[in-house]
Copies of this chain bind each other. A is one copy, B any other.
Amino acid sequence: MNRILRGAVVALTALLAPVAALAEPAVTEFELDNGMKVVVIEDHRAPVVTHMVWYRFGSADEPPGKSGIAHFFEHLMFKGTDEIPEGAFSKIVAENGGSDNAFTSYDYTAYFQRIAADRLEIVMKMEADRMVDLVLTPEIVATERDVIIEERNQRTDNSPQARFQEQFDAALYMNHPYGIGVIGWRHEIEALNIDDALAFYKAYYSPDNAILVVAGDVTPEEVKSLAEIHYGPVPPSGVHPAPRPKEPPHLAARRLEMADPRVGQPYVMRSYLVPTLKSGEDPREAAALAVLSRILGNGISSRFAAALEREQKVAIDTGSWYYATARDENEFGIYAVPAPGHSLDEAEAALDAVLAEVIASGVTEEELARVKWLIRSAEVYEADDQSQLARKYGRALAVGLTVADVQGWVDLVDSVTAEEVRAAAEKYLVLERSVTGHLLTAEAQ
């Protein structure tokens, strides 16, 4: 996961967003007797559906010493049941003209298929089947563990940026499991076995830990009827992931320096521990932070780009990120890639000067209006894509937010004032809450 690249992509997309009005889709919620929550998002523009099952646990819910098991288990869910042998799941979906995949994050694990609306039952039946009837053997687990280790080799161990991110996150979080990456520590992945896998499966893979999201050309009645047939008989486990440890007060500014000969382009990044929509006491703060993040680092009109890239020319790339929908206190990140001839310290000082200016003098009404428009436009884009729409609701509900939270987000953002943005910067962008990292080429040391 390269957050810096991702930041750049988001910036570009947002700037191309057209003027558009936002129409909320019809969203219906209900719950099965076994505790499985169901959300139906009607979208009748084309005869297709997106069928997703979101489990309300992710890597941040792993037992101590078992990092990687949530993502590992996502792979194992494709290994087959008595009725659907290994490899058959995706093959059946494809033969019916659909596609499927899955993903694991800190807060959730999700499985989804996109298929013709009249074939919804096919995928629902198979998804319910593997929730309860997965067949695992020590050989299957050992073989897939090798696949995961190779995935870690490729994405993490061969990437100085990814390894730096791991060390950085471990320094940011003092107590909360967000300090450990989704992929997991290598030495812990290597030790995962079938007992770990079965314990995780039996405890957590159950309807009372799951949310079914169906978006598309269906009615709530159709979904309810099918869900009662296929998910209804699956017994609840009654076991839920334990409450996660919370962060203690952060009192000391931390710094991190790593050098690697494979680093072609050094950069400086900093993350501050900040509240999110779910974890914070005041949802307005999350909205203010979302606005602040975009004003600082989103696109060519942002403060960082204007000051560091165009005016001072000390950086060739800058950016920011903030995950408003993380379940627990999370990071507010900024970065700069120095221009040739300029140091990481110079770039960092320039970032700090921009922050000091925002804290001292606030943001302008023009910036506020531009960024609110960006956020609204992004929502419109999302609403226009059925899969993204399903993901938006699934992600929010999986972390404990509500349909009302999702539908109220853009209006909440719209109501944020310039002073609230400034105040959020002053309150949260303090060094005691932060880790600052320098990734260097080995020669630079």
The segment from A117-125, A178-186, A206-214, A232-240 that touches chain B is A178-186
Task: Give the CA-CA distance A253 to B445 in the complex, in Å.
Answer: 12
Contact status A252-B164, CB under 8 Å: yes
Q: CB-CB < 8 A to A166: which residues of B?
A: 248
Contact status B170-A180, CB under 8 Å: no
Task: Give the CA-CA distance A63 to B187 in the complex, in Å.
Answer: 21
Contact status A253-B252, CB under 8 Å: no
Q: CB-CB < 8 A to A187: which residues of B?
A: 246, 248
Q: Please tell me how many copies of the chain the complex holds.
A: 2
Contact status B256-A252, CB under 8 Å: yes
Task: Give the CA-CA distance A250 to B256 in the complex, in Å.
Answer: 11
Cβ proximity bits A233-275 to B, threshold 8 Å, 1 near / 0 not: 0000000001111101011111111100000000000000000
Chain A contact residues, majority secondary structure? mixed
Q: CB-CB < 8 A to A171: which residues of B?
A: 171, 174, 252, 254
Contact status B174-A167, CB under 8 Å: yes
Contact status A174-B163, CB under 8 Å: no
B63, B168, B243, B256: which contacts A253 (Cβ < 8 A)?
B256
B174, B177, B188, B254: which contacts A254 (Cβ < 8 A)?
B254
By beta carbon, the residue of chain B nearest A172 is B171
Cβ proximity bits A413-445 to B, threshold 8 Å, 1 near / 0 not: 000000000000000000110000100000000
Contact status B175-A251, CB under 8 Å: no
Is A65 interfacial (CB-CB < 8 Å)?
Answer: yes
Q: CB-CB < 8 A to A164: which residues of B?
A: 251-252
Q: CB-CB < 8 A to A431: which residues of B?
A: 257
Contact status B65-A243, CB under 8 Å: yes
By beta carbon, the residue of chain B nearest A180 is B175
Is A64 interfacial (CB-CB < 8 Å)?
Answer: yes
Task: Count residues on chain A whose CB falls below 8 Å from chain B CBs.
Answer: 38
By beta carbon, the residue of chain B nearest A260 is B251
Contact status A255-B258, CB under 8 Å: no
Contact status A256-B254, CB under 8 Å: yes
Contact status A64-B437, CB under 8 Å: no
Contact status A252-B243, CB under 8 Å: no
Task: Give the CA-CA distance A187 to B245 in the complex, in Å.
Answer: 10
Quote the shortest CB–CB distance from A179 to chain B (angstroms). 7
Q: CB-CB < 8 A to A258: which residues of B?
A: 251-253, 432
Quote the shortest CB–CB distance from A424 to chain B (angstroms). 23
Task: Give the CA-CA distance A256 to B179 in the complex, in Å.
Answer: 17
By beta carbon, the residue of chain B nearest A157 is B249
Task: Give the CA-CA distance A245 to B186 in the complex, in Å.
Answer: 12
By beta carbon, the residue of chain B nearest A160 is B251
B170, B246, B254: which contacts A175 (Cβ < 8 A)?
B170
Task: Give the CA-CA distance A164 to B41 in the complex, in Å.
Answer: 50
Task: Give the CA-CA distance A67 to B257 in the complex, in Å.
Answer: 30
Quote the shortest CB–CB distance from A152 to chain B (angstroms). 11
Contact status A242-B64, CB under 8 Å: yes
CB under 8 Å from chain B, chain A span 141-196: 163-164, 166-168, 170-171, 174-175, 177, 179-180, 185-188
Q: CB-CB < 8 A to A250: which residues of B?
A: 167
Quote the shortest CB–CB distance from A389 to chain B (angstroms). 35
**19 sampled A-B residue pairs with Cβ under 8 A:** A64-B64, A64-B177, A65-B242, A65-B243, A65-B246, A163-B251, A167-B174, A167-B251, A168-B252, A170-B248, A171-B252, A186-B248, A187-B246, A187-B248, A188-B245, A188-B246, A253-B257, A255-B257, A258-B432
